Each structure stands twice: as C-alpha cells, then as structure tokens.
A and B are shown apart, each in its own frame.
Chain A
C-alpha cells in the first residue's frame, strides 16, 4: 500500500466506521537502518558506551516511525539522559553483583536476595517508561499495575514455577501477559486480555510434542546409522571410535538446530495467541504469523549474521520486525477518532536501562 493510498483511506474510515481489519505496515528498510546502526555504533564505541543511550533513542524512533496503522505512525519520546542514568545504575548493579559472590558467599547471597527483590520493581518501571514514552496519533500509552501485583507476577509466580519443576510455566506466562496487557492503556482506554490458561498449556504442549517427535526421528535415523557404522567389521577399532565421536558431534549439532527451529514455532504460536486475545476498548487485534515463514527468516538471519561477521545484523532486525509488524492487524469497532489523552506523568528510566542491559525480553 502506498502512502498516498493510506492517506486517502483515513477520511473515509473516519466518516464510515467499518469493521474490516486494518493491517499494520512497516516501512523501514534494511539499508537505511544499516546506515543508522553503523553510524550510531561508531559513536557509541568512541564514547565508551555513553552515546549508546542516544543511539537507542534514535533506533527506537526509527522503528516506531516506520510502524503505522490506519495511515499514522507511532512515536517514541524516551529521553536519552534518563536512559543513560538508567544504564549507569544498571552497570553499577551488575558490577556490585558480580564482585559480591567473589567476596564471600554470604555477601553474594544477600546481593542475590536484593537483586531478586528489586527486579520486579525494575521491570515495572521499565514497562512504565516504555509505554509512557510511546504515542500514536498524539496520544500516549501508559501502564499502571499495583506494586502487590508486580511482586506476585514477577517474583512469587516465577519462584512457584521453579518449585513445580516448571510445570507452572504456561500458567505463569499467561499471568505475565495478562498483567502486562490489562494494565496497559492508550490515553484513557484500557487494553484487555482474554487468552486462557488452557490455551497457553495447549501451545506449550503442542511445541513439546513437536520437539519430542523431532528428537525421536533424529535419534532413530542418526543413532541407527551410527550403530551400523560402529558395529560394521570394515573398520578397525580406532577408525570406528573416531566415526563414533564424529557421529555424536553430528547428533548433538542436529539436536541443537532442531531446538533452534522450534523457537520460531513457539514464538509464532505465542504471538498469535496473545494478540488474537487482546483488545483495546472495543477494538480487536489480529495476528496471523506463519511459523514456516518465521523459521525461514530466523535461520537465514543467523546464517547472514555469522557469514558477514555481524554486518547483516541491522538487515536481520528489520526483516524480523517487518514480518512481525505486518502480521498484525487492528479490527476496529467504530471510529478510531475517539481516544482521549490522560494526564501525563514523567517516569524515570532506571528500569528501562537495567532491563535493557540484563537482556530481559519485555516484548509486548
């Protein structure tokens, strides 16, 4: 769809509220993002990482500005100085945490408890920062959530999950997403989430079954031929053991690749599950990602990144992002013109920086 077509569409969809889905579009290109990425990378390295906060804002702005739905794009308002402060605190925390265990087990344990107690709060701050600094059509998103809920969802549930030998994982995942989506708002309108615990268990079970079938298939084919090679009388013992070792390496390699292939399937199932059960006020979201396409993108991206020693990275990010964004659609129920802005608050970026460095995936 060209830009002009989108613009023409707006007045129409405004005056005649329709309920045909409006697809999200992503206009960013790998070559342009590559230039943004490399220039900002250079300055980040030259300033020993200080500039990385500005780079993050610029990259995020590019992603947001390239994402549009119903003719208008998103905007990011994060303040680089706030992000820099968050990153400095994050680096200090990581250093202190790493030194603590070297000092003594007791200090290490105390630090571990402190970090565990702080993490839910940091995730909360990070979600707030990210949403308050995102806007669409001049209206900002927002995030509430009570402190009690934060600790339940991000501390108590994960601990319970571990104690349950991870049987509770789908349940916890559902609760986290439910919490994230129900506490998010756009202006004064709230998001809601209707994905059931059962559907999360089903998704996990499906991926587990696929994984198991694959592992059995790999074991039977590779294991069988391996056994045949080793027991064959043609080779002397040394050659047989060498072939055996190579076979085991191959076996583990194939298993690893299989796990890798499964991740896109899982991510696709979950993204579809989550967004097909999310509403903003009366408006519904739709997501129709295909795992085959996602697996293809993921694998070719990784090969590309490895073969180009990292230079393909920005192209890879754009490819994955474009596919994920363009699989989303908004099914409006009435006009998209009636959202009203809420009074705005400033939110600190401490959480944002920490979550970023510790590599949390807060993908919303």
Chain B
C-alpha cells in the first residue's frame, strides 16, 4: 500500500509530492524526493480527528499526510499502537471516565486530603515563620486600623486574669497573649497565628457581662488551638495552585471565583470548630452557654448583618451559631 504525502526536507520550505510505502520495517518515499528509513527511527504524531498526521525523520524532515484513514491502516499493518492516553482522548467513554474520575479525585481531596495535609503542614511549620507572619499583620493593622486601647489598664488586667483562670477543654494549649486595641472597624476580635488574641474596646463595651467576653476569647483561643490561620493559609495556596492547573490561562476573573467559594467553606468549618471549642471551654468552667449565645446576639444587633446565602459566606449565619450554642447546653 502506498499513500500520497507531502515531504518537507527541513532545509527549505519546498513541498515535495511523494508517496509513502512501508515494507520490511522500512518506510520509503518516492516521487519529488526519495529516501528510506527504518520505521523504528520515525516519530508519528498523535492521532486527532481533523489534523493531518505527521511522520518525522530523525533529522527533522517530515511528511504530512492528509488521508488519515489510509495512514491509520498503514500504521496498523506495521503494528503501531496509540498510547493509552491517546486512546483515552479519542474515545468518549475514556473522556467521560476521565470527567468522573476527575470529579471524584477533586471532591475527595477537597473534603479530606487538603484539610488533613494542611493541618499537617501547619503543625510542621516552624514557630518562627508564624511569628514573623503575625508580626507583619499586627504592624499593618496597628498602622491602618487600630489605635491604642482606651480601656483602663486595671480592667484589661482583670479580663486577662479572669480568662487565665478558666480551664481550656484540652491539653496542649498554645502560648497566647491577649491584646486590647481601639479600632475603626467596630466590635471585633481575632487571633493571629503566633498566639496574639486581639479584642477591640468596642467589643468589650458591647458585651453585657464578662461571661460574654470570656465566650468570645474562648472562641479565638479555639482558632489558635486548632491552628486555623496557618491551615487556612496553606489551604488557600493549595486551592489557588489547583485552580491554576485546571484553568491554566483562562481569564483571572473566572478563575478566582471558585477559589473564593472553595475557601469560604473551610472558613465556615473553622468558625464552627472554634465555636465548639468555646462551648466545651464554657461547659468545663461551668459558665452558662446562654452568655455566649447572648454575646452573639449583641453582635448581630449592632452589625445588623444581611444574611447572605450559606455558600457565599465566610461565617455560618449568626442565627445558626446561636442555635447551635443553645442546643449544646
């Protein structure tokens, strides 16, 4: 069998009309150009429906073949077989299998592998890294958002002492420091990875009693104990890397939406975990959980949040959290 082809010698752009035939393990072309080469030295381009097949000689000269059906038959005669991946790419069954397998792998890693791996990595990271990250964040916040606390020092000390008296629900409490700041962003409290718990004057004033403040502090200690912040940093980098692999050169705007949504879920999980920690701490110390729930209600009343749909939110809805706290009583 001989099939027509165009031969390019790799030295000029001239197209030579030739015919290709294979006999005894040798490919021979004849016509405008003549040459023969053992088929083991030739490289054949991958099969694709609408593209011409190319056969490349060791010196970059190549043949371009239009009649793909005839060429497939010729290749089959020589015992050539498409690679596993090419066969999978060319069949819809293979491709649909790949869709299913990809979805399964992505879901499993999102639900189980990523949280576990990031927890491990967060625990492995030296404290020095956390410390320098936290210092950077605190410096930034102090410059932009915070002013020194207006609370009397005695009141600050009293709150710190009161919290120190409480028994944490688990062993291995990380070193922590409670800092007071006056803020431009209203009542707030959060924890930095290196162990600083920052609580704003506005929050202290908003809470009706000290038990409510203890609940907030316990929630933040929960974030520290579970190392949520570092886990989150690791997780969001991993998600960003994966999204880059999937979307490649797609527009950045589209690529960032899934990153954001996927990260939100981890964030909500972390909030629930910290709530559970605080619940356990309150119980261990015999503080009525109604105080903690009350604290959330206070917060809700001031911020008067418009509740976004759950999957668009970094925190579970406050109603859901209050209900969870009260149920745990």
Question: Is B245 among interface residues, defined by CB-CB distance under 8 A?
Answer: yes
With a cutoff of 8 Å between Cβ atoms, the chain B residues found around residue A68 in the complex are 52
Please name the 9 residue pairs, one residue from A and one from B, whose CB atoms are nearest each other, closest first.
A138-B8, A35-B95, A27-B50, A339-B13, A65-B51, A137-B13, A138-B10, A337-B14, A42-B98
Question: Is A217 among interface residues, defined by CB-CB distance under 8 A?
Answer: no
Is A65 touching B247 in the complex (CB atoms < 8 A)?
no
With a cutoff of 8 Å between Cβ atoms, the chain A residues found around residue B94 in the complex are 35, 39
Is B98 touching A66 in the complex (CB atoms < 8 A)?
no
Q: Please name 15 pairs of A and B residues whose Cβ atoms are closer than 8 Å in the assembled complex, sorted by A.
A: A7-B6, A7-B66, A10-B15, A39-B85, A41-B102, A43-B85, A49-B241, A66-B51, A75-B45, A102-B132, A138-B61, A316-B250, A317-B250, A359-B252, A361-B249
Question: Is B9 among interface residues, defined by CB-CB distance under 8 A?
Answer: yes
Q: CA A309 – CA B245 in complex, angstroms?
A: 15
Q: A102-B133, A310-B258 are in contact. Are A28 and B13 (CB under 8 A)?
A: no
Is A73 touching B64 in the complex (CB atoms < 8 A)?
yes
Q: CA A260 – CA B62 in complex, angstroms?
A: 43
With a cutoff of 8 Å between Cβ atoms, the chain A residues found around residue B154 in the complex are none
* A38 in complex: contacting residue of B11, B48, B95, B249, CB < 8 Å: B95
Is A104 touching B12 in the complex (CB atoms < 8 A)?
no
Q: A35-B89, A305-B254, A357-B244 are in contact. Are A72 and B15 (CB under 8 A)?
A: yes
Beyond A10-B15, A28-B51, A66-B50, 9 extra complex contacts between A and B, CB < 8 Å: A28-B50, A34-B95, A42-B98, A46-B105, A71-B6, A73-B51, A102-B132, A139-B10, A309-B258
Q: A7-B66, A62-B51 are in contact. Are A42 and B101 (CB under 8 A)?
A: yes
Question: Is B74 among interface residues, defined by CB-CB distance under 8 A?
Answer: no
Question: Is A3 among interface residues, defined by CB-CB distance under 8 A?
Answer: yes
Q: CA A336 – CA B48 in complex, angstroms?
A: 27
Question: Is B88 among interface residues, defined by CB-CB distance under 8 A?
Answer: yes
Interface string of A136-154 (1 = CB under 8 A from B): 1111100000000000000
Q: CA A73 – CA B66 in complex, angstroms?
A: 11
Q: Which of A35, A43, A310 has the most CB of B within 10 A?
A: A35
* B49 in complex: contacting residue of A32, A45, A136, A337, CB < 8 Å: A32
Is B15 touching A306 in the complex (CB atoms < 8 A)?
no
Interface string of A105-144 (1 = CB under 8 A from B): 0000000000000000000000000000001111110000
Question: Is A287 among interface residues, defined by CB-CB distance under 8 A?
Answer: no
Interface string of B1-19 (1 = CB under 8 A from A): 0000010111111110100
Q: A38-B95, A39-B94, A66-B50 are in contact. Are A45 and B13 (CB under 8 A)?
A: no
For residue B304, give the distance in angstroms from its CB to the closest CB of chain A: 11
Question: Is A272 among interface residues, defined by CB-CB distance under 8 A?
Answer: no
With a cutoff of 8 Å between Cβ atoms, the chain B residues found around residue A310 in the complex are 246-247, 258
Question: Is B60 among interface residues, defined by CB-CB distance under 8 A?
Answer: yes
Is A40 touching B85 in the complex (CB atoms < 8 A)?
yes
Interface string of B28-65 (1 = CB under 8 A from A): 00000000000000000110111110100000111010
Q: Which of B98, B249, B252 has the most CB of A within 10 A?
A: B98
Residues of chain A touching chain B, judged by Cβ–Cβ distance below 8 Å, are 3-4, 7, 10-11, 14, 27-29, 32, 34-36, 38-46, 49, 52, 58, 61-62, 65-66, 68, 71-73, 75, 99, 101-104, 135-140, 187, 260, 302, 305-306, 309-311, 313, 316-317, 336-341, 344, 357, 359, 361
With a cutoff of 8 Å between Cβ atoms, the chain A residues found around residue B15 in the complex are 10, 14, 71-72, 137, 337
Nearest-neighbor residue (CB-CB) of B62 within chain A: A138
For residue A87, give the distance in angstroms from its CB to the closest CB of chain B: 11
* A73 in complex: contacting residue of B14, B49, B52, B250, CB < 8 Å: B52
Q: CA A104 – CA B133 in complex, angstroms?
A: 9
Is B13 touching A29 in the complex (CB atoms < 8 A)?
no
For residue A266, give the distance in angstroms from its CB to the closest CB of chain B: 14
* A137 in complex: contacting residue of B8, B90, B98, B105, CB < 8 Å: B8
Q: A36-B89, A42-B105, A338-B12 are in contact. Are A29 and B46 (CB under 8 A)?
A: no
Is B52 touching A65 in the complex (CB atoms < 8 A)?
yes
Question: Is B251 among interface residues, defined by CB-CB distance under 8 A?
Answer: yes
Is A138 touching B13 in the complex (CB atoms < 8 A)?
yes
Q: CA A52 – CA B51 in complex, angstroms?
A: 23
For residue B130, give the distance in angstroms from its CB to the closest CB of chain A: 10
With a cutoff of 8 Å between Cβ atoms, the chain A residues found around residue B92 in the complex are 35
Q: Which of B13, B15, B85 has the most CB of A within 10 A?
A: B13
For residue A347, give the distance in angstroms from its CB to the closest CB of chain B: 15
* B54 in complex: contacting residue of A46, A65, A260, A302, CB < 8 Å: A65
Nearest-neighbor residue (CB-CB) of A103 within chain B: B132
Q: CA A39 – CA B46 in complex, angstroms?
A: 14
Nearest-neighbor residue (CB-CB) of B101 within chain A: A42
* A39 in complex: contacting residue of B9, B89, B136, CB < 8 Å: B89
With a cutoff of 8 Å between Cβ atoms, the chain B residues found around residue A302 in the complex are 251, 253-254
Is B10 touching A313 in the complex (CB atoms < 8 A)?
no
Question: Is B129 among interface residues, defined by CB-CB distance under 8 A?
Answer: yes
Q: CA A58 – CA B46 in complex, angstroms?
A: 9
Question: Is B70 among interface residues, defined by CB-CB distance under 8 A?
Answer: no
Q: CA A66 – CA B51 in complex, angstroms?
A: 5
With a cutoff of 8 Å between Cβ atoms, the chain A residues found around residue B60 in the complex are 135, 138, 140, 344
Nearest-neighbor residue (CB-CB) of A313 within chain B: B250
Interface string of B286-323 (1 = CB under 8 A from A): 00000000000000000000000000000000000000
Is B13 touching A102 in the complex (CB atoms < 8 A)?
no
Question: Is B257 among interface residues, defined by CB-CB distance under 8 A?
Answer: yes
Question: Is B75 among interface residues, defined by CB-CB distance under 8 A?
Answer: no
Q: CA A344 – CA B61 in complex, angstroms?
A: 13
Q: A29-B50, A61-B46, A102-B129 are in contact. Are A4 and B66 (CB under 8 A)?
A: yes
Q: CA A302 – CA B102 in complex, angstroms?
A: 22
Is B11 touching A341 in the complex (CB atoms < 8 A)?
yes
For residue B34, give the distance in angstroms from its CB to the closest CB of chain A: 17
Is A41 touching B245 in the complex (CB atoms < 8 A)?
yes
With a cutoff of 8 Å between Cβ atoms, the chain A residues found around residue B252 in the complex are 359
Is A359 touching B132 in the complex (CB atoms < 8 A)?
no
With a cutoff of 8 Å between Cβ atoms, the chain A residues found around residue B85 in the complex are 39-40, 43, 58
* Contacting residues of chain B (248-282) with chain A, CB-CB under 8 angstroms: 249-254, 257-258
With a cutoff of 8 Å between Cβ atoms, the chain A residues found around residue B90 in the complex are 35
Question: Is B242 among interface residues, defined by CB-CB distance under 8 A?
Answer: yes
